[in-house]
Every structure is written in C-alpha cells, then in structure tokens.
Chains A and B, each alone.
Chain A
C-alpha cells in the first residue's frame, strides 16, 4: 500500500470549514484513498473513500487531485465534536478482505469555539 503523509496537527474554528490534506505521491492506479477518524477513547470511524472522482457524503467531502498524488478531506462546518485524529489511508480495495488497515500517525484536528 502507498505511503501517506499528513500534517501532525491542525486547528479550526467552530463553524468554519476544516480542510485536511494528505499526500500520497506513490499511489497506484487501483488504490483508493480512505479517511477514518478516531475520537478520543473510541474505535476508528469510517468517513469517506474515493478512487479519482471527488466524493461527498453526509459527513464530509473528499477532493482528489487529477494526478491522484494528494487529496483533501473537507468538513464543511466543523463542530466541537469533530475534534479527533484523522487518518488518511491508501490501499487497494479488491480482494482485501483478509488484510488489515495500517494506520499512520494521522492529523489531530482541534476545533475550538
């Protein structure tokens, strides 16, 4: 699986958009970009994933650059409850039921009022 690079921490004001970057310059053609987050003392929570098109769901939007070497997770209106560690993970989706997700250090997002 391709390696990802994320900033260790970011701050965001409540109500503003939080834009979390991720670099994955060695991503291959069949690898997806996944985002999870972990709120303190809880298990990781799936947020969103994508291959090359931008994706949006009720939690967030995922913007993937045309060359797929980087992506940005956007929380459009951050709340205090969005304070968490956000993990960007790149991996192939096909035939991966038997392999684990490997977590990097992620980005600690702190949302303040």
Chain B
C-alpha cells in the first residue's frame, strides 16, 4: 500500500514555543490530508482537513490560530502547534487518501510540552 511518512516521531518542547510536524505522501499525490489528535486511552479525533493550495478546514473546537496547517504541495502538509502548552501534549497523526480514496496513516508524532 501507499506510504505516508510523518516527522518527527517524538518531540519534547518547552511551554510557549512552537513545534512543526511534517506529513509526506511518499509514493502518491494527495490533494487532501487530514490531521488527528489522540489523547491517552481515547480514539483518534479529527482536527482538520488540509487541502493543497487552500486554507484548511478545522473541526469545531479546534483553534485555527493555534494549530497552523500548510499544504503547500501534493505530497506535503505541515501542522505547527504555536505557543504550545502542556495541555497540547498528545499524539498527532496525519492521514492521506490516494486516488482510490483509500486512507493511509503516518506513524504519528508524540508531542510532550514541558
């Protein structure tokens, strides 16, 4: 199946700093990518839908100014957590769908804000 690469896999940052997470579709083009967040012992929660060349669509309750999404090309989307705080500590996962509409997921990024 198609491969989605997410980087970094783990990051620790100080409170108040910003962190960028990259999501790349390695062998297919994805006009749309998705960002999820997962807290311990909970399911994946959709944060936003990232569309190449246009603004992302955020789910209700997700602050668009805090979670900046850029989808500059058909193979790359980035999520920047701005002014991170300890409550932003979570597991962030990206996903992309190929031309058959099958969904593939990155390996996730464990963010810890101290």
**Binary interface profile of B, 34-64, with partner A (CB < 8 Å = 1, else 0)?**
1010000001111001010000000000000
> Are A97 and B101 in touch, CB under 8 angstroms?
yes
**Distance of A85 from chain B, by nearest CB (Å):** 8
Interface status of B82 (Cβ within 8 A of chain A): no
Interface residues on A, range: 20 to 34
- Given A41-B110, A46-B1, A106-B43; A101-B95 close (CB under 8 Å): yes
Total number of B residues with any Cβ neighbor in A under 8 Å: 28
Interface status of B72 (Cβ within 8 A of chain A): no
From B34, B43, B106, A105 is in contact (CB under 8 Å) with B43
**Distance of B54 from chain A, by nearest CB (Å):** 11
From A87, A95, A97, A100, B46 is in contact (CB under 8 Å) with A100
**Binary interface profile of B, 1-45, with partner A (CB < 8 Å = 1, else 0)?**
100101000000000000000000000000110101000000111
Interface status of A113 (Cβ within 8 A of chain B): no
**Binary interface profile of A, 4-42, with partner B (CB < 8 Å = 1, else 0)?**
000000000000000000000000000000000010011
> Are A44 and B105 in touch, CB under 8 angstroms?
yes
Binding site for B on A (CB under 8 A): 38, 41-46, 85, 87, 93-106
Binding site for A on B (CB under 8 A): 1, 4, 6, 31-32, 34, 36, 43-46, 49, 51, 91, 93, 95, 97-99, 101-108, 110
Given A43-B108, A97-B31, A98-B51, 11 new contacts (CB under 8 A):
A43-B6, A43-B95, A43-B106, A44-B93, A45-B105, A96-B97, A98-B49, A100-B49, A100-B103, A101-B95, A102-B46
